[in-house]
Amino acid sequence: MKIDKSITNKSHLQVHEHVVAERLRRQRLNKLFIGLSATIPGLKKLDKASILKDAIEYIKRLEEQSKALEEEAGKQLGKPKHPNRIDTSDYHSSALISDIQARFCEGEILIKIHCKQPKQVTHKLLGELEKLHLTIINCSVIPFDESHDITIIAQVLGLGSFLIFTV
Amino acid sequence: MKIDKSITNKSHLQVHEHVVAERLRRQRLNKLFIGLSATIPGLKKLDKASILKDAIEYIKRLEEQSKALEEEAGKQLGKPKHPNRIDTSDYHSSALISDIQARFCEGEILIKIHCKQPKQVTHKLLGELEKLHLTIINCSVIPFDESHDITIIAQVLGLGSFLIFTV
DNA sequence: ACGTACACGTGACAC
DNA sequence: TGTGTCACGTGTACG
C-alpha cells in the first residue's frame, strides 16, 4: 500500500533536517544522562532507569542529610524548634517594625528587620544594646523598597564574639 | 517494494509483545522523570533536558552544602579552637589582607577581614561574589585602627539565604 | 529462546 | 512560520 506523500508537504530536505535535529536532541539527552550519572556516587548500573532512580534516591538522601545537619548545628546552640530564633515580641509590639527575625551562631547574632522609621528603630535598638553592655562596631542604614534595612555589628565586652544585627 | 518477513522469524504475537514491552519501558522512564522533577525544588520547565540539567545542578549544590555543613560540624566537635574556619590561604597569599576568618550558620556566611587597601580587597571580593552568582545587597567600609573593616551582605540567587561578609 | 535496553526515523503537536 | 519536544513502532544487540 502506497503512502501519499502529498499530505505532508515537507520537502526531502526538510525531512532530513528533522531527523538530524532529532538525532542531535537524542545525543544531547544522552550527554545529560552521562553527566547525571557522573554526579551520582556509587552508581553501578548505567541503565537510564537506574540513573534516574538513583538520582531521585540520592537527592532525597542529600536533602535529609542537609536538614539533619542544619538542625544539629542549630541544636548545638539550644533552641530546638525554630533553630536560632529568639524572642522578638517586644519589638513587634512597638509597631515600628514590620518584620523581624533573628538567628545566632557561636555567640554571634543576626537580626533582620524591615521598618519604616529607621531613626526610631535604630535608636531603640542602640539603647537595648547599651543595656546589654554591647559595643557598637558598625551601623549602616540603607533604603530598600520604601522601607529600610539596618545592619548593626556589635561586640560583647570581655568576650571576643560579635553580635551582627542586620535590620 | 515488498519486504521479506522471513529474515525476521518473529510471529505477529511476538512482535506485538515487543511493542507492548517498549511502551511499558517508556512509561516507566517517564514516571521516573516525573519523580525526579518532583524532588527538584524551583523547577519551572518540565522539559526532559531541563529536568536532567537541573537535577545535576541541584545535586552539586546539595553536595557542596553538605560538605560545608559536615566540615562545620566536624570542626565544632573536633577542633574547638577556631570553629567554622574555612580555607583562606588564597586571600592570605595576596598579602592584601592581614587577617581573615570566616564562619557560616544556616546557609549564611560571615567573613571578617582586616586589610589595608579596602578598595582592592572589596573589588576582588565582589568579583568572587559575581562568579558565585550572588546578589550584593549591601556593602559598607569603615576605617578602624589605620586599617579597614568591610561588611558585605549578599544573597544566593534562588535561595532565600544570605551570605554575610564582614570584612 | 527470551527478556531487556537502546537508537533510530517518523508523525504530531505547540509556541 | 519553523523550531523544538514528544511518543510511537521498529530493528537490533546483549545476556
Mean pLDDT, chain A cut into blocks of 10 residues (167 residues total): 45 82 93 94 90 94 82 53 35 47 44 57 62 58 56 53 46
Of A7-16, B86-95, B104-113, the one with minimum mean pLDDT is B86-95
- Confidence at B128, pLDDT banded by 50, 70, 90: low
pLDDT digits (tens, 9 = 90+) for B17-54: 899 999 999 999 999 999 999 999 888 889 999 999 99
The pLDDT value recorded for residue A66 is: 81
CA closest to C10 C1', residue: A19
- Confidence at B80, pLDDT banded by 50, 70, 90: very low
pLDDT (mean) for B73-92: 41
Of B127, B94, B111, B113, the C-alpha closest to B164 is: B111
The pLDDT value recorded for residue B149 is: 60
- Report the residue of chain A nearest B2, measured CA to CA: A1
The pLDDT value recorded for residue A110 is: 47
Judged against a pLDDT cut of 80, whether residue B126 lies above it is answered with no
The pLDDT value recorded for residue B27 is: 94
CA–C1' B3–C2 (A)? 25
Of A111, A105, A143, A106, the C-alpha closest to A126 is: A111
Contact indicator for A113, A99 with CB cutoff of 8 Å: yes
Nearest CA of chain B to the CA of A44: how many Å? 18
Contacts with B, A 44-63, CB within 8 Å:
48-49, 52-53, 55-56, 58-60, 62-63
Quote the percentage of chain B above a pLDDT of 90.
21
From B49, B56, B84, residue closest to A106, measured CB to CB? B84
Quote the percentage of chain B above a pLDDT of 70.
36
| Residue A166 with chain B: CB contacts under 8 Å | 153, 162, 164
CA closest to D7 C1', residue: B26
Nucleotide closest to residue B47 (CA–C1')? D5
Helix (H) or strand (E) holding A146: none
Residue with cell 542529610: A65
- What is the CA angle B104-B110-B111, rounded to 5? 120
pLDDT digits (tens, 9 = 90+) for A106-148: 444 445 555 665 555 656 666 665 666 555 555 565 555 455 5
pLDDT digits (tens, 9 = 90+) for B144-159: 545 556 666 555 544 4
Judged against a pLDDT cut of 70, whether residue B99 lies above it is answered with no
CA–C1' B40–C6 (A)? 27
Which of B25, B26, B58, B59 is the best substitution to test chain A (most A C-beta atoms within 10 A)? B59
Distance CA B94, CA B89 (A): 9
How many CA atoms does the CB half-sphere of B66 hold within 13 Å? 17
The pLDDT value recorded for residue B17 is: 86
The pLDDT value recorded for residue B41 is: 87
Contacts with B, A 105-164, CB within 8 Å:
105-106, 108, 110, 137-138, 140, 142, 149, 151, 153, 162, 164
Higher pLDDT, B103 or A38: A38
Judged against a pLDDT cut of 50, whether residue B161 lies above it is answered with no
CA–C1' B28–D11 (A)? 21
CA–C1' A40–C12 (A)? 35
The pLDDT value recorded for residue B12 is: 79
The pLDDT value recorded for residue B5 is: 40
